[in-house]
């Protein structure tokens, strides 16, 4: 792995051993990488991918902080002290309501998959004034009550992604940007590329761990072929992320949304191939005998499922059907 002061000295097994160790690592990286979080996208995605090669939960938490820093920068806001996350899920009918009060706002409701509980200090949280209007609030993580029983798998467990209940007061100073800012800003679609970079780095981590295991034996021709499929998929994933990151300054509107969705889809399908081929190469011995590989495979499998693959492919298919451009 290329030397990087943000990743040097990090040990995956130690990071996953204790929430305090993960918290210290995330805080240190967040502070040392300040210039990268709001800098050019190619540098940001490269950093996130390198962190994912160490550990996917670590990279997930740092990506949330980086996303929050870019959001605050786009809103001309000033970050407060500490590590940030972005808690914006409205899955299964959940979400946080924002009710106007005399001296500010009252926030109440539930948010699923709030990553970083016990790790981060603050979160950017959309509060819905009505079905169509939302405001983005900068809230202290201590203002929520987390249900730590809502995550029932060891995969991505160190990301501390729980359902949180919100019952808090917020002032006008806690509002980030104008109404609708979070979803309507041009940076919303582009932000999804940071997550894709973490996925791509996770795929590279699986490949590296499988290669490390195979070097202790004489691999069969079939194992070598499957390893080649993994290498091809990893290259495709990173190429899609890197190319889109470099193209972002020239993209806007629907083109930005489409290109980012394309890149994420390329990465997800590549990750699916990597997970499948890795399990076939190492077999039950490798899956049961390597705690880190087993953990990385589990992390990557559940993490990429947040991408709505079929919906995205349907939209890309509609775009292709309506396009006058024919590749050939």
pLDDT digits (tens, 9 = 90+) for 81-121: 999 999 999 988 899 999 999 889 999 999 999 999 999 99
CATH of 84-180 given 3.30.43.10, 2.40.110.10, 2.50.20.10, 3.40.640.10: 2.40.110.10
Integer angstrom CA distances of residue 75 from 112, 180, 294: 25, 12, 41
pLDDT number for residue 328: 46
322 pLDDT higher than 90: no
Domain ranges of the chain: 12-74, 84-180, 183-322
- Tell me what the mean pLDDT of segment 22-38 comes to: 96
What is the per-residue pLDDT across 200-212, written as a single tens digit (0 to 9) for each? Answer: 999 999 999 999 9
Q: Which residues of 178-191 are buried (b: 16+ CB within 10 A; e: fewer)?
A: eeebbeebeebbbb
CATH topology of domain 183-322: Butyryl-CoA Dehydrogenase, subunit A; domain 3 (1.20.140)
Q: Which residue carries 């203002």 as its tokens?
A: 143
Nearest CA-CA partner of 298 in 275, 324, 267: 275
pLDDT above 50 for 147: yes
Q: Enter the tokens of residue 327.
A: 């590749």
Question: How far apart are alpha carbons 107 and 139 in whole angstroms?
Answer: 10
Pick the range with the lowest mean pLDDT from 1-15, 169-183, 290-304: 1-15
Please determine, for residue 324, whether its predicted confidence score (pLDDT) is greater than 60.
no
Q: How far is CA 327 from the centre of its chain?
A: 32
pTM confidence score: 0.95
Answer yes or no: is pLDDT of 58 > 60: yes
Q: Give the separation between CA 124 and CA 136, rounded to whole angstroms.
A: 6
CA distance 215 to 236: 24
Cα(237)–Cα(263) distance, rounded to whole angstroms? Answer: 8
Q: Which range among 9-13, 54-58, 162-166, 319-323 shows the weakest confidence by mean pLDDT? A: 319-323
What single DSSP character describes residue 79? P
Averaged pLDDT of the chain = 95
CB contact at 8 A, 54 and 193: no
List residues bridging with 164 in a β-sheet.
111, 146
Q: Per the structure block, which two tokens stand in for 281?
A: 């190469």
Q: Six-digit token pair at 6?
A: 């943000």
Half-sphere exposure of 123 (CA within 13 A, CB side): 24
Residue 3 has pLDDT above 80, yes or no: no
Which tens digit of pLDDT belongs to each residue from 159-212? 999 999 999 999 999 999 999 999 999 899 999 999 999 999 999 999 999 999
For the chain, give the number of residues: 328
Whole-angstrom CA distances from 271 to 142, 144, 198, 317 are 35, 34, 11, 21
């Amino acid at each position: 792995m290329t030397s990087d002061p943000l990743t040097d000295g990090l040990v995956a097994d130690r990071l996953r051993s204790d929430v305090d160790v993960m918290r210290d690592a995330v805080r240190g990286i967040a502070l040392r990488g300040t210039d990268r979080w709001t800098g050019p996208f190619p540098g940001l995605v490269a950093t996130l991918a390198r962190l994912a090669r160490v550990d996917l939960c670590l990279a997930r938490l740092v990506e949330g902080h980086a996303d929050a820093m870019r959001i605050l920068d786009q809103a001309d806001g000033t970050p407060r002290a500490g590590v940030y996350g972005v808690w914006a899920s409205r899955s299964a009918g959940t979400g946080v309501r924002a009710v106007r009060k005399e001296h500010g706002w009252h926030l109440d409701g539930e948010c699923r998959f709030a990553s970083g509980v016990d790790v981060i200090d603050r979160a950017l949280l959309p509060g819905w004034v009505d079905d169509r209007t939302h405001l983005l609030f900068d809230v202290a993580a201590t203002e929520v009550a987390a249900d730590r029983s809502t995550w029932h798998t060891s995969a991505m467990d160190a990301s501390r992604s729980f359902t949180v209940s919100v019952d808090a007061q917020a002032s006008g100073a806690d509002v980030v940007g104008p109404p609708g800012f979070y979803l309507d800003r041009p940076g919303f679609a582009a932000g999804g590329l940071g997550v894709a970079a973490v996925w791509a780095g996770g795929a590279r981590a699986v490949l590296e761990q499988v290669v490390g295991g195979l070097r202790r034996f004489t691999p069969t021709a079939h194992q070598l072929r499957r390893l080649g499929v993994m290498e091809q998929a990893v290259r495709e994933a990173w190429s899609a992320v890197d190319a889109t990151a470099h193209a972002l300054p020239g993209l806007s509107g629907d083109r930005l949304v489409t290109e980012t969705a394309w890149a994420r889809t390329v990465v997800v399908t590549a990750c699916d191939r990597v997970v499948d081929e890795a399990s076939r190469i190492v077999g039950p011995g490798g899956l049961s005998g390597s705690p880190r590989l087993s953990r990385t495979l589990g992390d990557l499998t559940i993490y990429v499922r947040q991408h709505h693959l079929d919906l995205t492919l349907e939209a890309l298919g509609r775009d292709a059907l309506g396009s006058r451009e024919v590749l050939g």
